[in-house]
Amino acid sequence: MDTATVTNTMWFERRQYLLALFREQLFADQVEVTPEAVDSAYRVGEVRVLAHALRRVTPETTPEEKGRQLATALRLHDRLVSGGTWEEVNAQSEDSIARVNNGSLGLVGRGQTVPRFENAAFALGPGALSAVTETDFGYHIIYRPTLEEVREVFTLYVGQAKVTRVDSIYGAELMLDRRVEVLPTAPATIREIAPSLERALESSNVLATYDGGRFTSDQLARVLMYVPPETYEQVLAAPDDQIAFFTRQLVLQELLWQQADSAGIAMSDSTYGLMEEQYRLGLQALWGATGLWPDSLAAYGPTPAAREQLARQQVDRYFEAVVSRRIPLQPVPPALAEQLRETVEWRILPAGIDAALQLAGRLQAAAERPADPGSEQNVP
């Protein structure tokens, strides 16, 4: 839990936070949100704050139940028209996620909802209520709040839109000024290294150059370890021009990070505390999955040798449970894994890998084989 380890392990989260802070300071003087701009964004109506109450139906809903849901929706609509409150209608909505926000779906643009819902919602004037609208999800009562009800949301929306526009211009100028160039071989190199990010960390293949530096495969690998799995898969399957664009965006992030670092952007103590707590929770998840709680090792192992033996036994039980599919694998945070591999002596033994694969095959087969009733199944 020392500061250096926490900071190094959480480098990606720390960097993203500091980049956001740098951008906020960089564009603060260039982004002014006037009341007139907020009024205009609401009046144009291409993006709207919408609320709804839903009586849900599914493909399995019987015609009788569907009729009851429609009758309930019509009754709730009549209640609103006759002076009932939105809060009492929302309390009977079956959209549990929207219900906790008083039915609000937040900002909704065209193309984000199914056509019947969109047609009804985007026909509403300020403060208007739709008729009961049927979609595949059920029966909706849609409400478009007035500007005064959602002025704060639209103020944030207009501000973020301006920041995005200014940020895009600034990034394009920075890339041009630093003469960023993605190598033609970059897409092929990325596809080659992506299946083994650990090996890519030891590589320094140049993917892009810029005045004063270069962007290499080990830098790419460190970022890819933190992107969602679906993004990672999309990168691998993307055509060359999209991979080149993705690489340019990562280079831009690197250049902005260099500027933020030079500007002395720092993390507050309170934000560091939140980051430290996130790190602690990650460790606790690992300790809980593997049974390697430091306190329990210290209590049951009076000597280092005894504690190591106990830890080995716990790890063996953990991996047996993983390959038997009784529990999911709990990944080690990428940056922590990298530190461990750099600071602890370790090696891979081919004979051990072969033995582990054989054992894993037996464990999986045993896990998939139906148990013999009345007998206990033993795994060799």
| Single-letter residue type at 285 | A
Q: Are strands 47-56 and 133-135 parallel, antiparallel or unpaired?
A: unpaired
How confident is the model over 37-70, as pLDDT tens digits? Answer: 999 999 999 999 999 999 999 999 999 999 999 9
What's the confidence (pLDDT) of residue 373?
53
Catalogue all structural domains in the chain, each as residue range(s) with its CATH number. Answer: 13-30+179-262 (no CATH), 44-147 (3.10.50.40), 271-368 (no CATH)
pTM check: above 0.75: no
Q: 282 and 12 in contact (C-beta within 8 Å)?
A: no
Three-state DSSP state, 279: helix
Which CA distances in Å does 369 have to 362, 372, 374? 10, 9, 15
Residues 53, 92 contacting (CB under 8 angstroms): yes
pLDDT of residue 374: 52
pLDDT given at position 242: 92
Instruction: Report whether 137 contacts 54 (CB < 8 A).
Output: yes
Contact between 311 and 338 (Cβ < 8 Å): no
Residues 7, 11, 14, 15: what is their CA dihedral angle, to the nearest 10 degrees? 140
Q: Which of 9-13, 62-66, 167-171, 240-244 has the lowest mean pLDDT?
A: 9-13
How far apart are alpha carbons 179 and 211 in whole angstroms? 6
Least confident of 17-31, 104-118, 272-286: 17-31
Closest by Cα among 325, 337, 315, 311 to 361: 325
Query: Average per-residue pLDDT in the chain?
Result: 88
- What distances in angstroms separate CA 288 from CA 28, 277, 312, one per listed residue? 44, 16, 15
* The pLDDT of residue 341: 84
Burial 207-233 (b: 16+ CB within 10 A, else e): bbbbeeeebbbbbbbbbbbbeeeeeee
How far apart (Å, rounded) are the C-alpha atoms in residues 260 and 254? 10
Confidence class for position 84, pLDDT limits 50, 70, 90: very high
23: left (phi over 0), alpha (psi -120 to 50) or beta: alpha
Give the whole-angstrom CA distance, residue 54 versus residue 93: 5
In 73-105, which positions are buried (b, 16+ CB within 10 angstroms) versus exposed (e)? Answer: beebbeebeeeeebeebbeebbbeebbeeebbb
Q: Report whether pLDDT(339) > 90.
A: no
- pLDDT at 237 exceeding the cut of 90: no
CA dist 156 and 116 (Å) reads 28
Q: Which of 134-148, 216-230, 337-351 has the highest mean pLDDT?
A: 134-148
| pLDDT tens digits for range 20-35 | 888 888 887 777 888 9
H or E segment and range at residue 50:
strand 47-56
Q: In sequence order, what DSSP letters do the residues of 197-250 get, joined into one string? A: HHHHTT---EEEEETTEEEEHHHHHHHHTTS-HHHHHHHHHS-HHHHHHHHHHH
pLDDT in tens, 351-371: 988 988 898 888 888 877 765
